[in-house]
Amino acid sequence: MKWGNDLSTFVEKFRQYLKPGYYDEFDYHWTMTIDLDRCTGCEACVVACQAENNLPIVGEKRYAQNREIKWIRIERYWEGEYPDVKMGFIPMLCQHCDAAPCEIACPVFATYHNQDGLNTQIYNRCIGTRTCAVYCPYEVRYFNWFTYTWDEPLEQQLNPDVTVREKGVMEKCTFCIQRIRLAKDNAKDDDRRRVRDGEVVPACVQSCPTEAMAFGDSNDPEAKVSKMMKNPRGYTVLEELNTTPSIVYLKKAHAES
């Protein structure tokens, strides 16, 4: 056994972590902004996500049991009563919290924070305790209650870049990590150290017909998201829980009258 070796590497690594500026070397902090003043609740993002990430078609019965899987969903909130009634939409997806409540929950490290600031989920590692989903205040984690199948030949559509999940596994929004990877690979091929702003576009952001969503690296002060985040309308959902989400919403503006 090389316990000794393991220990010394561990100590070495730990020392590295303590070095000031160590974390600055991690280049990216993927962030999304969603402008609720642009969002119309059309749900184009929902289908885009379903197509990109191989989300199952669960069927009517299982939908009735609330077993649907939608990594991004639109929440609806009414305000007031007829005739002064208003509707507010808010797209809800994994917030990729920096202080994620779900991450402490998993006993097997199936969910953890990666170096890009993403809250990742490793399907193969998951044993299905579902603790992460209970802990998640945004309720954006979805569980494979069954092994879902596709009616032939719908399975031909499945995205080969994304795993198809089996029963007993938790899943959630990944910020389209496969697209992030592709962009990083492309950057590497082009001998670029960094991915350009706008090079990574998750499926939901890409599809949004009102351009309500923006995605990018908030460590880059010139990135579109960094500028959007400075908007005075910006806020994070359930701020009081101090989860420090990576999604900044821009509040719906009201007409001045």
Residues 42-71 that bind another protein (CB under 8 A): 42-44, 46-48, 50-52, 57-58, 60, 62-68, 70
Query: Quick one: 44 or 187, whose CB is closer to another protein?
Result: 44
What's the token pair of residue 21?
Answer: 């500026």
Question: Is 8 a residue that touches another protein (CB under 8 A)?
Answer: no
Residue of 121, 115, 169 whose CA lies nearest to 145: 169
Q: Using CB under 8 A, which residues numbered 228 to 257 contact another protein? A: 232-233, 235, 237-239, 241, 249, 251-255, 257
Nearer to another protein, 7 or 253 (CB): 253
* 5 is a site residue for another protein (CB under 8 A): no
Stretch that binds another protein, among 18-26, 113-121, 167-175, 185-193 (CB under 8 A): 167-175
- What are all long-range contacts of 204-208, with beta carbons under 8 Å and residues at least 24 apart? 204/45, 204/46, 204/48, 204/49, 204/72, 204/91, 204/93, 205/32, 205/45, 206/48, 207/44, 207/45, 207/47, 207/48, 208/39, 208/44, 208/45
Q: Tell me how far, at minimum, the Cβ of 219 lies from another protein, in Å.
A: 24
> Does the protein bind another protein through residue 10 (CB under 8 A)?
no
Nearer to another protein, 19 or 157 (CB): 157
- Minimum distance, C-beta of residue 236 to another protein, in the bound complex (Å): 10
Verify binding: residue 36, another protein, rule CB under 8 A: yes
Range 168-187, binding another protein (CB under 8 A): 168-170
Comparing CB distances to another protein, the nearer of 236 and 246 is 236
Q: Does 139 bind another protein (CB under 8 A)?
A: yes
Q: How far is the CB of 181 from another protein (least distance, A)?
A: 13
* Amino acid identity at 82: Y
- Per-residue mark of binding to another protein, 117-136 (x: CB under 8 A): --------xxxxxxx-xxx-
Q: Residue 115: CB partners within 8 Å, gap ≥ 6? A: 26, 28
Closest CA to 227 of 36, 31, 25: 31
Can residue 198 be called a binding residue for another protein (CB under 8 A)?
no
Q: How far from 129 is each of 62, 106, 126, 136, 170, CA to CA, in Å?
A: 20, 8, 8, 13, 9
Q: Hey, what long-range contacts does 10-18 have (CB within 8 A, 24 or more apart)?
A: none
Instruction: Please say whether the beta carbons of 95 and 235 come within 8 A.
Output: no
DSSP code at position 36: T
* Whole-angstrom distance, CA of residue 72 vs CA of residue 98: 19
User: Does residue 29 sit in helix, strand or coil?
Assistant: coil
Binders of another protein among residues 199 to 228 (CB under 8 A) are 203, 206-212
The reply on whether position 78 binds another protein by CB under 8 A is yes
Residues 144-163 that bind another protein (CB under 8 A): 144-147, 151-154, 156-160
